[in-house]
């Protein structure tokens, strides 16, 4: 589900190869000029209008929802601003905190609906960012935001961090300081779901394992570990941000890490560029046939509504919608 155009990144075709049974883009949602900002529907409006689809999904289901309000260029109309902007003078940096806060509020509304309907009791929620927030084009404002005298390449490397949060019944709250990258999300998620991934080919590591190497590769060959960070030809102490001039012994260790990063990137590139997954055929895997999927609105809604599953939230709610249980303070929706 995404409140943006289905043609963006060719997703209305690409998702068929992923085996997604439904793809619900902007064309499935009611849209007005006041509902839309940046790349799609505002998050609160997007969640509000998604309820009627979520409640019809047969359980268990895997659902991916893409929000866009907290995305560059970080614009938010005045009636939705609930905290003040920062005052660095950089429009991108100053708008970031407002859109981030708006997203937090929107997620809160969705989770309150899940708790009200009981859906939270058997759901694992994963929240993550797919890339950095503020780019490296805003060094001066970023330094002011962080109350630093300057903002260097190491600081920009730190800005590559993204949130990764899990919420589920029985999972104790806390902050895990293990270093990892997007490539480590899948094995971590499978662990939390209790899915046995033995015998599968994966490049990432379970972040909850004591044996994860904690080496985060960047696309350009830079890396981050709990001890050391590499940016170009320079090395830094990850904890202090101080530049390191490695001696011969440390240089050998850093070269070894660089080689691991290069190998990981090379293997990943070979799989993607060579389309090597066509040779990967585990016994349990059913090959996806893109032609079996139709994402047009009419046939999609017919499948979703005409044959209601007895496991769906809608059916369990005595064949009544749970829309009234979703409460939002979105000013555009107030009567």
Q: Which of 188, 181, 180, 194 is nearest to 206 (CA)?
A: 188
Question: What is the pLDDT at residue 335?
Answer: 65
Contact between 155 and 142 (Cβ < 8 Å): yes
CATH of 1-174+296-328, one of 3.40.50.970, 3.40.720.10, 3.40.50.300, 3.50.50.60: 3.40.720.10
pLDDT of res. 278: 87
Core vs surface per residue 198-221: b (16+ CB within 10 A) or e: eeeeebbbbbeeeebebbbbbeee
Q: Per-domain residue ranges for the chain?
A: 1-174+296-328, 178-287
State residue 219's pLDDT score: 93
For the chain, the first-to-last Cα distance in angstroms comes to: 26
Enter the tokens of residue 258. Answer: 């660089």
Same fold, 1-174+296-328 and 178-287: no
CB neighbourhood size of 87 (10 A) = 11
Return d(Cα 220, Cα 224) in angstroms, integer: 12
| pLDDT tens readout for residues 3-62 | 999 999 999 999 999 999 999 999 999 999 999 999 999 999 999 999 999 999 999 999
Residue 79 DSSP class: G
**CATH number given to 178-287:** 3.30.1120.170
Residue spans of the chain under pLDDT 70: 335
């Amino acid at each position: 589900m995404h409140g943006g155009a289905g043609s963006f990144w060719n997703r209305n075709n690409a998702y068929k190869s992923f085996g997604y049974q439904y793809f619900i883009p902007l064309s499935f949602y009611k849209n007005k000029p006041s509902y839309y900002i940046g790349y799609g529907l505002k998050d609160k409006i997007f969640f509000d209008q998604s309820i009627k689809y979520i409640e019809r999904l047969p359980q268990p289901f895997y659902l991916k929802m893409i929000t866009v309000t907290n995305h560059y260029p970080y614009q938010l109309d005045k009636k939705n601003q609930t905290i003040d902007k920062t005052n660095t003078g950089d429009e991108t940096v100053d708008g970031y905190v407002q859109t981030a806060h708006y997203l937090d509020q929107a997620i809160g509304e969705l989770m309150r609906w899940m708790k009200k309907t009981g859906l939270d009791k058997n759901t694992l929620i994963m929240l993550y960012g797919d890339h950095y927030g503020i780019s490296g084009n805003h060094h001066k404002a970023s330094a002011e935001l962080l109350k630093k005298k300057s903002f260097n390449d190491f600081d920009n490397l730190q800005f590559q961090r993204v949130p990764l949060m899990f919420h589920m019944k029985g999972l104790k709250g806390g902050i895990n300081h293990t270093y990892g990258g997007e490539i480590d999300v899948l094995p971590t998620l499978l662990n939390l779901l209790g899915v046995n991934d033995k015998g599968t080919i994966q490049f990432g590591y379970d972040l909850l394992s004591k044996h994860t190497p904690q080496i985060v590769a960047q696309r350009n060959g830079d890396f981050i570990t709990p001890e050391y960070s590499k940016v170009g030809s320079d090395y830094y102490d990850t904890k202090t941000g101080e530049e390191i001039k490695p001696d011969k012994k440390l240089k050998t260790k850093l070269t070894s890490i660089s080689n691991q990063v290069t190998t990981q990137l090379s293997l990943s590139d070979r799989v993607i560029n060579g389309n090597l997954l066509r040779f990967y055929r585990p016994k349990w895997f059913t090959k996806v046939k893109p032609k079996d999927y139709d994402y047009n609105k009419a046939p999609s809604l017919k499948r979703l509504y005409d044959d209601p599953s007895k496991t769906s939230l809608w059916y369990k709610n005595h064949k009544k919608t749970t829309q009234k249980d979703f409460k939002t303070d979105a000013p555009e929706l107030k009567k």
